[in-house]
Amino acid sequence: MSGKGVDYSHYQGTPNVQKMMDDGVEFVIIKAWEGDHPDPNFTENLENAIDAHMPVMAYVYLHSSDTDARRQACFDHIGETVLCLDWEAEGVQAHVVEAWMDAYEAVYNRRGMVYYGSYPPDAPTPRIGEWPRWFPHYANKPALPPWDGITPNPDWRDCYAIWQSSSTGKVDGISGLVDTDELAPYLSIGELIAWINESRPPRPDVDLVEPAIRCLQLALNVAGYNAGTVDGLWGPHTQQAIDDYSGWNE
């Protein structure tokens, strides 16, 4: 498993964050808001996560009746905590999600995350695809590929940043069952922490080494030193060509 996380609400009470960390949990997503009311345990759960230096995000359960006033009340409640939009209630159209996105970006000048499965309440729009996706799929493998680690601005309708892999997980520090999550393989916990702390989305993991080796192999071959296939891999042919070029075998 890559970065291991859990998400929870007042239904799990106030979990013991240190025990969760000892069990390998690296990030948490805590319910913050629904309708006109905050989750009753959010403030305590948030403070416990911050005190333990646990990376934490907050999620709001969306309704079709959400208004600007409701959105602002939610923002006031979560403060600087990164927001996740839980889009799963029947009848919530895409424009409701977009309204939350627009309002959040206007207040915080950053993106959040959107949670929706293979069959959301409405067709996801390109605008919704701009925010990293938290994807629920309870199977051994997700039905959606992870972020590839390279594309800097992917259409997140086609890949995920976080996979909610189970709704019946068990973690030390939480009584009963809990949702468990995994980071995309190319998204490190360090990048997630930077995203939360510095308000920037995952950055692409650009491979500089392979292209450089390819250029070197090509140059050696053109110059008459047999580096073999130009494949970007440093093998015995490439090493021998370097030795011949450097005159180490003379």
Q: What is the pLDDT along the chain (250 residues), one digit of tens a residue?
A: 468 999 999 999 999 999 999 999 999 999 999 999 999 999 999 999 999 999 999 999 999 999 999 999 999 999 999 999 999 999 999 999 999 999 999 999 888 999 999 999 999 999 999 999 999 999 888 999 999 888 878 999 999 999 999 999 999 999 999 999 999 988 887 787 777 777 666 665 556 677 788 789 888 988 999 998 887 889 999 999 999 998 865 5
- CB neighbours of 29 closer than 8 A, spacing ≥ 6? 5, 6, 7, 8, 56, 57, 58, 59, 84, 134, 181
pLDDT of residue 202: 67
Domain boundaries, the chain: 4-198, 209-246
Please tell me the pTM assigned to this model. 0.80
Cα separation, 180 vs 141, in Å, equals 13
Provide the CATH topology of domain 4-198. TIM Barrel (3.20.20)
Q: Positive or negative CA dihedral for 44, 188, 79, 65?
A: negative
Q: Which segments within 97-203 are labelled E, that is strand?
A: 113-115, 133-136, 162-169, 178-183
pLDDT of residue 197: 72
pLDDT of residue 21: 96
